[in-house]
């Protein structure tokens, strides 16, 4: 008789995901849906065979060194794995997987929402109506920046970057991109490749960040790179908060160098930088890029697919 494996879910995932998990595994669920500390993670590792964490759970080198030998796999409910010290976990013999592909369109939708919201001054307009302060109109009232026909620069032309490009073409945007490697022509779909970030920045009326968080990309949007954008550009970030020097961004928004910005991720999460609240030309969302029912189910099922393969003695599809 096969002994059922025990899996810990530190955060509450979709009902469909948990129902499937309970069918196939013994499940331990954090019903409070609160953040687990390093000590919580280490203590739970002695009780389970697998953990299905989100980006909020941190597996640093210190945590990896303290994990119990019972734990065999960390099946992340996320694409990004910068919260995991992959080298340290591998040294402990712990497999790590993620959930690529399934959240690309949902995140790209948020990129376009931020792009449009920032360009057309959505925060200001919404606030005027909600606060009963809308008592004036003229041809110069709430004039924004037009998206149609503008040049969109994308840094990081992976799955989400490509999905954003497809949606931007629906607005007749001219797509340019920088990537570590040029895409095959059939994936470019007419986008213009730039072999340097500087070349891309110089022509980007709008700039959207879609690269992973690595030591090389930390602070990729900073005072120097912002200075190379056209005056009045709009920048969008749906990738990771660490990509943006927030002080430099706020300075550029205050000075008018940037017309506006849209952010779905921040250096401090949850909560973000309180200094940002006073900037009318900053449109912000609380890291909800993949927050649709369809995508949350798909992410959960992808994580479970990886668990199923691993415990069946196969190589998980998304093994890192």
Give per-residue pLDDT as tens, 103-129: 999 999 999 999 999 999 999 999 999
State the catalytic residue, choosing from 20, 194, 287, 302.
287
CB 307 within 8 A of CB 75: yes
Q: Clarify whether 194 is annotated catalytic.
A: no
Averaged over 43-65, what is the pLDDT? 97
- The whole-number pLDDT of residue 3 equals 86
Q: Match 């340019």 to its residue by tokens.
A: 176
CATH 3.40.50.720 domain span(s) along the chain: 6-102+293-311, 104-284
Using a 10 angstrom Cβ sphere, with 0-12 exposed, 13-18 middle and 19 or more buried, the burial of residue 182 is middle
What backbone torsions phi and psi does residue 87 show, to the nearest 5 degrees?
A: -65, -45
Percent of the chain's residues with pLDDT above 70 = 100
CATH fold label, 104-284: Rossmann fold (3.40.50)
Q: What pLDDT sits at residue 110?
A: 98
Helix, strand or coil, per DSSP, at residue 60:
coil
Query: Which of these, 296, 295, 249, 299, lies nearest to 272 by C-alpha position?
Result: 249
Active site residue 87: no
Contacts of 154 (CB under 8 A, 6+ apart): 161, 164, 165, 175, 176, 177, 178, 191, 207, 208, 210
Element (H, E) at 234: strand 233-237
Over residues 128-163, the pLDDT tens digits come to 999 999 999 999 999 999 999 999 999 999 999 999
Q: Where are the alpha helices (DSSP H) in 170-245?
A: 185-188, 197-203, 223-227
pLDDT score, position 1: 57
In this predicted structure, the answer to whether residue 165 has a pLDDT above a threshold of 70 is yes
Q: Which of 4, 15, 224, 269 is catalytic?
A: 269
In this model, does residue 90 exceed pLDDT 80?
yes
pLDDT value at residue 2: 73
Prediction pTM value = 0.91
Residue 77 bears catalytic tag: no
User: What value does the mean pLDDT take over residues 40-54?
Assistant: 98
Superfamily of domain 6-102+293-311: NAD(P)-binding Rossmann-like Domain (3.40.50.720)
- Digit-coded pLDDT (tens) for 247-290: 999 999 999 999 999 999 999 999 999 999 999 999 999 999 99
Q: How far is CA 196 from the centre of its chain?
A: 23
Which burial class, exposed, middle or buried, applies to 305 when counting CB atoms under 10 A from its CB (0-12, 13-18, 19+)? middle
Can you tell me the mean pLDDT for 41-68? 97
* pLDDT confidence of residue 307: 98
| Whether pLDDT at 222 is above 70 | yes
Cα–Cα distance, 61 to 59 (Å, whole number): 7
Which among 120, 240, 296, 302 is annotated as catalytic? 240
């Amino acid at each position: 008789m096969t002994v059922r494996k025990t899996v810990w879910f530190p955060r509450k995932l979709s009902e469909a995901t948990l129902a499937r998990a309970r069918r196939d595994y013994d499940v331990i669920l954090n019903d409070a849906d609160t953040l687990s500390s390093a000590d919580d993670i280490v203590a739970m590792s002695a009780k389970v065979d697998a953990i299905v964490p989100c980006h909020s759970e941190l597996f640093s080198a210190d945590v990896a060194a303290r994990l119990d030998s019972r734990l065999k796999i960390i099946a992340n409910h996320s694409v990004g794995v910068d919260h995991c010290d992959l080298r340290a976990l591998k040294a402990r013999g712990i497999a790590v997987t993620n959930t690529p592909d399934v959240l690309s369109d949902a995140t790209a939708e948020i990129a376009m929402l931020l792009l449009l919201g920032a360009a057309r001054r959505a925060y200001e307009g919404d606030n005027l109506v909600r606060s009963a302060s809308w008592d004036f109109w003229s041809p110069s009232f709430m004039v924004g920046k037009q998206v149609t026909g503008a040049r969109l620069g994308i840094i990081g032309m992976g799955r989400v970057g490509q999905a954003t490009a497809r949606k931007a073409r629906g607005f007749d945007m001219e797509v340019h991109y920088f990537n570590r490697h040029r895409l095959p022509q059939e994936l470019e779909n007419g986008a213009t490749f730039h072999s340097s970030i500087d070349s891309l920045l110089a022509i980007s009326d709008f700039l959207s960040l879609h690269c992973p968080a690595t030591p090389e990309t930390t602070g990729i949007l900073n005072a120097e790179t912002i200075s190379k954008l056209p005056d009045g550009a709009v920048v969008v970030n749906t990738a990771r908060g660490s990509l943006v020097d927030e002080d430099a961004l706020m300075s550029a928004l205050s000075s008018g160098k940037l017309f506006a910005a849209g952010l779905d991720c921040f250096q401090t999460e949850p909560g973000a930088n309180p200094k940002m609240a006073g900037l009318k030309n900053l449109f912000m969302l609380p890291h909800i890029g993949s927050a649709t029912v369809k995508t949350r189910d798909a992410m959960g099922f992808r994580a479970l697919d990886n668990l199923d393969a691993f415990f069946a003695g196969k190589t998980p599809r998304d093994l890192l």
